[in-house]
Structure 1
């Protein structure tokens, strides 16, 4: 029968990548083509010496038995999917078409394992995307909104008369803590967008309000770090198209980082200027020189400078700065020599 079948189908029987076979009513194949061994590792003899059910995955046994009953009634089986055991272990997903004719069943099967795995991976990816959105929503709503309510409450209390000096101190400290927590949440949200989502989105404007926005940013940091000397030199002679909010976020992170890691009696300087080359922002502080081995990893997430490892924070601020620069097509670099550290942001004119 094998030779009759091969003679009948000729070259197609031997070279097709599809598994072809002639199945008898007793559940055994009386002829199988070479594609069986290529697909599931079993030789024709090994396949034909055993009932085909011996190769079916246990979870697919019931639906396969039902399909076999159905084809015995004369109905063809089209695009039926089950799993067959591979000789070397594991299973392959097969898609079957079987047609009854003259008391035998002429079958063809195609290996669709890769397609099934791709669909599974896609489903996993869609589930991950859904979980990402839920995670960002939790950060953006369930955490930030209560903080905003707390901050508003403390601001109302601060305007009440008759507060003791201790009460004013407690309210001021609490407000600062809430602001710090809000910044941490902002950093976590940006990290989630860059590493778990599609990256930071930009709202590019003509940048006409960048100068006053930078001044307000520096003033906000001064109010939080009143004990630090922070100098700003902002000379923007031309408008620079950019995302003003993100540029101010970058400046805020860099200045706050400089205050945190610099000498307590040192000066932190932010300079911003424009020229025909584009926008340049530099933030400089004085303190311990950052070793090159630390600089090499400074813009990675959850990395903090070893020169002051006890400082609070998640180590996301500089990573977020690098992502803001990258989204703008700009460069962000650091130079630390003889106790003077400068972070430099450069947005070329052609990208601005």
Structure 2
């Protein structure tokens, strides 16, 4: 005894032979001559407590196993991330090199072409090369956005944004003769952004407007700094976007709608939305019978982390 004991687990056998789980506590009383006088024994039914202890031990084992599984999963995700980065790099390299060779060959042929027909065929080859390069860029951006860590940015507020946007509009005017594009920019403050990516965003939006807008109506482009934000919108007149059917899926990859062009992969608006998200901004759309407008807004300065 050594004077007392506490929390001693025992199984008492009942009259019907079934065990009854108990917790025993005891204390011994002795006189001045250290002679035992009595022993007080308390038995407490411990079914619930014993079950709780067993469940607690089981929970600890499960938590330990779950921790091991989580660690293994984290390791697999890390390895998968590295594989995705390698995939993106290899894909870009392996697809761009053949196109570069074709483009270089077409330029060489163009120097010695003698007939108008030959010049037309070479020009068609160059246009096809540019279109394929754009498709490759879209696929790589999709891989970065969906499989990797999102679209990366190279921000620089020290250089003006407006010349880049004007250059994009001028290129699309040349590529779409007969279409009218009105552009108006009022960017009087530095914009902390990736100028190349915002040029890509504008190109996708204007290209979408030229594809779906009425060919007899102009496309409008407007960009300005106001307050602490930068806003850029593109609008066109044409058949409105069906509110219920298409609005929710408009910025999903590969979505083209019922009347969309089949020349692309349906990635333009998705990539534009990812560029907007990477800048801490948003890309929204409104569409009526009078106008369809895509609006991009972003803070002039990135949020502090």
Q: Shorter-normalised TM-score: what interval? A: 0.7 to 0.9
What does residue 127 of structure 1 align with?
A: 79
Following superposition, the deviation at residue 277 of structure 1 comes to 4.4
Distance 1:155 1:207, change over 3 A: farther
1:313 is matched with 264
Equivalent residue in structure 2 for 1:206, among 144, 157, 164:
157
Contact 2:192/2:300 (CA < 8 Å) preserved in 1? Answer: no
Deviations 1:206-253 (A, max 9, x none): 153311111111222223223432232223223222111111111011
1:342 matched to 2:305? The reply is: no
1:155 equivalent among 94, 98, 107: 107
1:253-284 CA distance string (max 9 Å, x none) = 10111112222333222222223343221111
Question: 2:212 maps to which residue?
Answer: 261
Deviations 1:313-345 (A, max 9, x none): 111111111111111122211111115211111
Paired residue for 1:288, among 219, 239, 247? Answer: 239
Cα distance in structure 2, aligned partners of 1:271 and 1:154: 37
Match of 2:123 in 1: 172
The CA RMSD over aligned residues, in Å, is 3.2
Q: Deviations over 1:283-316 (max 9, x none)?
A: 111221111121222111221132x234221111
Aligned to 1:303: 255
For residues 147-198 of structure 1, the C-alpha deviation after alignment (integer angstroms, 9 at most, x for no partner) is: 123223323333x144322111112222111111111111111111121111
1:319 to 1:227, Cα distance in 2 relative to 1, 3 A: same
Distance 2:56 2:105 in 1: 69
Contact 2:212–2:260 (CA under 8 A) maintained in structure 1: no
1:351 to partner: Cα distance? 4.4
**Any stretches of 5+ residues in structure 1 without a counterpart?**
1-9, 15-32, 42-93, 95-109
Q: Provide structure 2 residue ranges, at least 5 long, that are not aligned to the other structure.
A: 1-7, 10-20, 22-49
C-alpha distance in 2, partners of 1:223/1:139? 30
Give the corresponding residue for 2:95. Answer: 143
**2:223 aligns with one of 272, 288, 294:** 272
Q: Which has the higher contact order (CA 8 A, sep 6+)?
A: 2
Q: Please, what TM-score do these two structures have when normalized by structure 2?
A: 0.74
Q: Is the CA contact (8 Å cut-off) linking 2:190 and 2:300 kept in structure 1?
A: no
What is aligned with 2:36? none
Work out whether residues 260 and 311 of structure 1, in 8 Å CA contact, stay in contact via their aligned partners in 2: no
Residues 98-131 of structure 1 deviation map (CA, whole Å, 9 limit, x = unaligned): xxxxxxxxxxxx9853344334323432332233
Q: Check the 8 A contact 1:207/1:243 in 2, yes or no.
A: no
Q: What is the alpha-carbon distance in structure 2 between the residues aligned to residue 310 and residue 162 of structure 1?
A: 33
Q: For this pair of structures, how many residues does the alignment match?
A: 259
